[in-house]
Amino acid sequence: MRIPYRPLAIGLVTLAFSALILARAQAGDRHFFAPVTDPVVKEECGSCHLAFAPSMLPARSWQRMMGKLDNHFGDNASLDPATAEKITSYLVANAGDAGGQRYSSKLLKGVATGAAPQRITELPKWVSEHRKVPDWEWRHKEVRTKANCVACHTAAEQGYYEE
Amino acid sequence: MKNILVVTSGIVAMILSTATLAGPREDLLAQYAAVAKVTSLSAARGQTLHTQNFSGGKPDTPSCTTCHGKDTRGAGRTLTGKTIEPVAVSVTPTRYTDPAKVEKWFKRNCTEVLGRECTPQEKGDWLTFVIGQ
């Protein structure tokens, strides 16, 4: 009996290869920040603005933010304690410095250890990525604020931040 | 005084128990009317509340329409660019069916716009307005 193992081997190699590429496209793309999947977080942190990807800030940032929701950038975003606790756990577990989040930590480059920045838009890396964006573009009526990522990154809801 | 309180809460409880036969929106309306001690809520007053410019709240959000838009059947938009589904029940039938959600947003948004919480009557009027839209 002759087994046609050459085509089989080629098939296997191709399969392994495409799996590799797929995995890289999902995890390794530096433009990709896994979007919020938890429905409660999506609802409570995604109705005033885009539900920002938890991997964009370190865990201590989220802890600090969640501790003062009654004054959230001038808004009152308070929640009942049980919901707030649930959301905090999710954000912390998926934070930029949580295990395995190698790529998003690039956005955290230059953040002092121990610091708890409250704005993604003030991270040194974010600022440098956006240094070429002209002033008038920020003031455009469809943009209005730097926090309005979706205005420029149309696939931000899906986690993609290429232009 | 105590007696009056007991009687009132008795009436409220009665209204509430009959209202549970209807949907959650009708429940809410009955509750607001009962607490406000009024027999009728007004869509016209609700419309005024919705479109009026207030000066007591934050300068960049003088009115409900700042975020919810002038057209109740059209989508709104927050200042941070997030789209808001229309407030009119005819267009967004799932609206105002979760009392905790309704209360949470009344509290936040009235504070933003009026600089204080809305009264039960104001809430009932506003709901009556958008339910009829």
The SS3 assignment for A43 reads helix
Q: What is the pTM of this model?
A: 0.86
Output the CA–CA distances (angstroms, integers) from residue B90 to A134, B38, B51, B72, B122, in the order listed.
42, 26, 19, 10, 21
Inter-chain residue contact A47 with B82, CB threshold 8 Å = yes
C-alpha A27/C-alpha B11 separation (Å) is 60
Q: How far is A44 from chain B (nearest CA, A)?
A: 10
Inter-chain residue contact B82 with A143, CB threshold 8 Å = no
List chain A residues with CB under 8 Å of B79: 144-145
Within chain B, residue ranges assigned H as helices are 2-19, 24-36, 43-51, 64-68, 99-114, 120-131
Inter-chain residue contact B78 with A144, CB threshold 8 Å = no
List chain B residues with CB under 8 Å of A75: 108, 112
Q: Of the CATH numbers 1.10.3430.10, 1.10.287.70, 1.10.760.10, 3.30.70.890, which one belongs to the domain with range B23-131?
A: 1.10.760.10
List chain B residues with CB under 8 Å of A150: 81-82
| Cβ partners under 8 Å of residue A124, min gap 6 | A109, A110, A111
ipTM: 0.77
With a cut of 80, say whether residue B114 has pLDDT above it: yes
B58 and A CB contact within 8 Å: yes
pLDDT digits (tens, 9 = 90+) for A66-86: 999 999 999 999 999 999 999
pLDDT digits (tens, 9 = 90+) for A93-137: 999 998 755 556 678 989 988 899 999 999 999 999 999 999 999
